[in-house]
Amino acid sequence: MHHIHILGIRIDDVTQAEALTHAATLIEDGIAHGCGHQVVTVNPEFVMEAQHNLAFREVLCAADLATPDGFGLLLAARWQGTPLRGRATGVALVQQLAALAAERGYRIFLLGAAPGVAEQAAAVLQRHHPTLVIAGCFAGSPHARYAPFIQQIIAAAQPHILLVAYGHPAQDLWIARHQPVLKIPLAMGVGGVFDYLAGRVPLAPRWMRQLGLEWLFRLMVQPHRWRRIITAVPLFSWAVLRAGKRGDR
């Protein structure tokens, strides 16, 4: 699978359809060999966080699939001369995985978000895919002291797909830390996807997503995110420009 690097972070050059196909292959491999795989959905915030967070950087670069989630990555890739063919977003991949799970009988576990949100998100997924099996929902916490209890809950549920909504980098670090024990065929950090599915946070209109203006919509509906948006837009853009063309290494 072809990949590029932006500010030293590996990003796989996959379309949305290819991301699902590869994820399905990882699930089958995990089932067949009793091993766990990790998917990360990289966006400009991830790239910037990884510039100073070595543990997070290692997780991103070691992931079995690192999808390009974020319009800014497409612009950065084009600028440095290593264009990506498109985006593969976490929101769309979760919806696709739910459809795949309903079709093949995979069990999904939703971990994280505020109390009750995972259950609401699961209900929405089941409404769209009536045969989908939800192995469990639990808000929990990424704090180490809760890990043994959460591991017990997940192990008892025996999911094929684990979706973790603790926000980056906590969710991705949590998965990397516990996958050697849990060995879930496919585990993926999903950020605010449960909130979107549950209707707690609206998705940007399609035309804004197509123009790469999701950040503006988020600033309008969630002004408290202004620090994150500054990191994801002007600071990321400046870092890419400063690195220069072919500055992907």
Number of Cβ within 10 Å of residue 152's Cβ equals 10
pLDDT surpassing 70 at residue 51: yes
Beta strands at 3-6 and 9-12: parallel, antiparallel or unpaired: antiparallel
Residue 247 domain-assigned (yes or no): no
The number of domains in the chain is 1
End-to-end CA distance of the chain, in Å? 18
* pLDDT at res. 248: 47
Euclidean distance between CA atoms 16 and 26, whole angstroms: 15
Euclidean distance between CA atoms 86 and 13, whole angstroms: 8
Euclidean distance between CA atoms 187 and 231, whole angstroms: 26
CA quadruple 79, 81, 83, 89: dihedral sign:
negative
- What's the distance, CA 232 to chain centroid? 16
Q: Which class for 52: exposed (0-12), middle (13-18), buried (19 or more C-beta within 10 A)?
A: exposed
Percent of the chain with pLDDT over 70: 87
21 phi-psi bin (left φ>0, alpha ψ -120 to 50, beta other): alpha
Structure tokens of 202?
């609206």
Q: What is the CA radius of gyration of the chain?
A: 17
Residue 249 domain-assigned (yes or no): no
In the predicted model, what is the mean pLDDT of residues 174-186?
Answer: 97
pLDDT single digits (tens) 89-143 = 999 999 999 999 999 999 999 999 999 999 999 999 999 999 999 999 999 999 9
Element (H, E) at 169: none
What is the pTM (predicted TM-score) of this model?
Answer: 0.90
In the predicted model, what is the mean pLDDT of residues 222-240?
Answer: 72
pLDDT single digits (tens) 154-173 = 999 999 999 999 999 999 99
- What's the distance, CA 164 to chain centroid? 8
Residue 219 domain-assigned (yes or no): yes
pLDDT surpassing 60 at residue 30: yes
The boundaries of the domain holding residue 231 are 10-242
pLDDT surpassing 90 at residue 234: no
Residue 204 domain-assigned (yes or no): yes
pLDDT surpassing 70 at residue 15: yes
pLDDT band at 208 (very low <50, low <70, confident <90, very high): low
pLDDT surpassing 90 at residue 200: no
Mean residue pLDDT across the chain: 91
5 phi-psi bin (left φ>0, alpha ψ -120 to 50, beta other): beta
In the predicted model, what is the mean pLDDT of residues 25-38?
Answer: 98
Percent of the chain with pLDDT over 90: 79
Residue 1 domain-assigned (yes or no): no
Helix crossing, 16-33 with 90-104: angle to 10°? 50
More confident residue, 97 or 226: 97
Confirm if 154 and 162 have CB atoms less than 8 A apart. Answer: yes
Confirm if 86 and 15 have CB atoms less than 8 A apart. Answer: yes
